[in-house]
Amino acid sequence: MKKKILISTGGSGGHVIPATILYEHLYEKNDIIISTDNRGFKYLDKKIYKIFLIDTPKLNLLLLPLNFFKILFLTIKSIFFLKKEKINLLFSTGGYMSLPLILAGKFLNLKIYLLEPNLVLGKANKFFLSSCKKIFCYTKQIKNFPEKYTNKKVITYPLVRNEFYKTKTRKINNDKFRLLIVGGSQGASIFDKNLKKSILNISKKFSIKVIQQTHLNNIFSLKEFYSKNNVENDIFNYDKNFIDKVSGTDLCITRAGATTLAELSILNVPFIAVPLPNSKDNHQFENAKFYLKNNACWILDQNLFEEKIERLIEEILSNKSNINEKMQNLSNLNFQNTWLNVNQKIVNILDEN
């Protein structure tokens, strides 16, 4: 008999993409619904997923009384929904968006599982540790993790979309050095404003192609700038075939969201991580530091970005052995990382508990 599973997510792509990967791992033998807020809704294909929209308000001290009543209302709404759909198991990818659903799940004594993709335990996940059966993590060394709940950790390889495993091998380009610039689902204005002049200077010394993700409003101006200066470019906002851009990349400049780094890692694409300085609990820096410890990336402080990025890229281009070394170290990290291994870990834990 199929389990009825609800996967709770929302907010940024960093929460929603892992939820869709969980869906891929579980949908064949289970009946699954994905819940999300309005922000996360845009990342979900309504033709594929059965979606429950629950727009949890962001917790704000000034609006605490109003938020309390909203959360209470949404929790009651969630109780009725979970009962109506006969949900057996609730899986949360973290964030305040899951609050009403997990509270409802606790009230109904459902099995609750958590996912922590970052190397710093999120506040929502920490709050519900006592109520969950297990929490899936990518490493044992998670900051802010209470020692008394260590037995609830399940260590798995990072959740990466199946097409990345199928591609696996990075495409080799012999014509131009391909530089991918990724700001993540939230975008990164620093890459748009403070990088193009450096790239122009670099293009005068090295043959490069720029592949850059940017905000929809910036596509025309960036494309015009590069084209005007004879820099081959591919400027985009969102691309369903994003994997083709990644797999054809020699080097990536990126924020340090857990999913983005995992996708680059599985394809052995070396990267320069520029962690978002105001990310909660500095989790982006901790995510990138994991790869730095394995000599698989470079990290650049955002405050020094404009000053140092041009010289760093030139050093990398001048000595390709650095890139080759990091590619090999990324390959070593993913030696046993397969879709089947991750799938078996998730399915076995859910069946055992």
How does pLDDT run along the chain (353 residues), one tens digit per residue?
Answer: 789 999 999 887 788 999 999 999 999 999 999 999 998 898 899 999 999 999 887 766 556 677 788 889 999 999 999 999 999 999 999 888 899 999 999 999 999 999 999 999 998 999 999 999 999 999 998 999 999 999 999 999 999 999 998 875 555 566 789 999 997 655 577 888 889 999 999 999 999 999 998 888 888 999 999 999 999 999 988 666 778 888 889 999 999 999 999 999 999 999 999 998 877 778 999 999 999 999 999 999 999 999 999 999 999 999 989 899 999 999 999 988 999 999 999 999 998 86
> Using an 8 Å Cβ cutoff, are 40 and 17 in contact?
no
Rounded Cα–Cα distance for residues 100 and 78 (Å): 7
> Using an 8 Å Cβ cutoff, are 101 and 93 in contact?
no
Rounded Cα–Cα distance for residues 216 and 114 (Å): 33
Q: Where are the alpha helices (DSSP H) in 196-276?
A: 196-203, 219-228, 242-247, 258-266
- Region of 235 (left: φ > 0; alpha: ψ -120 to 50; beta: rest) is beta
Strands 111-116 and 134-137: parallel
Residue 239: its pLDDT value, please?
64
Rounded Cα–Cα distance for residues 195 and 201 (Å): 10
Question: Three-state SS across 40-81?
Answer: HHCCCCCCCCCEEECCCCCCCHHHHHHHHHHHHHHHHHHHHH
Show me where the domains of the chain are located: 3-157+337-352, 164-333
Top-level class of domain 164-333? alpha beta
DSSP code of 29? G
Partners of residue 154 on adjacent β-strands:
136
Rounded Cα–Cα distance for residues 252 and 43 (Å): 23
CATH 3.40.50.2000 fits 3-157+337-352, yes or no: yes
> Using an 8 Å Cβ cutoff, are 316 and 297 in contact?
no
Residue 96: its pLDDT value, please?
85
Residue 171: its pLDDT value, please?
57
Name the amino acid, one letter, at 50. K
Look at residue 181 and give its three-state secondary structure.
Answer: strand
* CA 49, 55, 61, 62 torsion-angle sign: positive
Rounded Cα–Cα distance for residues 296 and 268 (Å): 9
Residue 103: its pLDDT value, please?
95
Strands 232-236 and 251-254: unpaired
> Using an 8 Å Cβ cutoff, are 289 and 232 in contact?
no
Rounded Cα–Cα distance for residues 71 and 262 (Å): 33
Question: How distant, in Å, are the alpha carbons of 23, 26, 127, 166, 183 from that of 162?
Answer: 11, 13, 31, 6, 22
Residue 279: its pLDDT value, please?
74
Residue 142: its pLDDT value, please?
93
Q: Which two tokens stand for residue 80?
A: 């009725």
Rounded Cα–Cα distance for residues 114 and 91 (Å): 6
Q: Where are the beta strands (DSSP E) in 157-243?
A: 177-182, 208-213, 232-236
DSSP code of 143? B
Residue 177: its pLDDT value, please?
93
Look at residue 101 and give its three-state secondary structure.
Answer: helix
Question: How distant, in Å, are the alpha carbons of 163, 210, 256, 305, 320 from that of 198?
Answer: 33, 12, 21, 11, 19
Q: Which two tokens stand for residue 78?
A: 């969630």
- Do domains 3-157+337-352 and 164-333 share one topology? The answer is yes
- Stated pTM of the model: 0.90
Residue 168: its pLDDT value, please?
59
What is the maximum span of the chain, computed from C-alpha positions, in angstroms? Answer: 64
Of the chain, the end-to-end C-alpha distance in Å amounts to 16
> Using an 8 Å Cβ cutoff, are 276 and 255 in contact?
yes
Look at residue 336 and give its three-state secondary structure.
Answer: coil
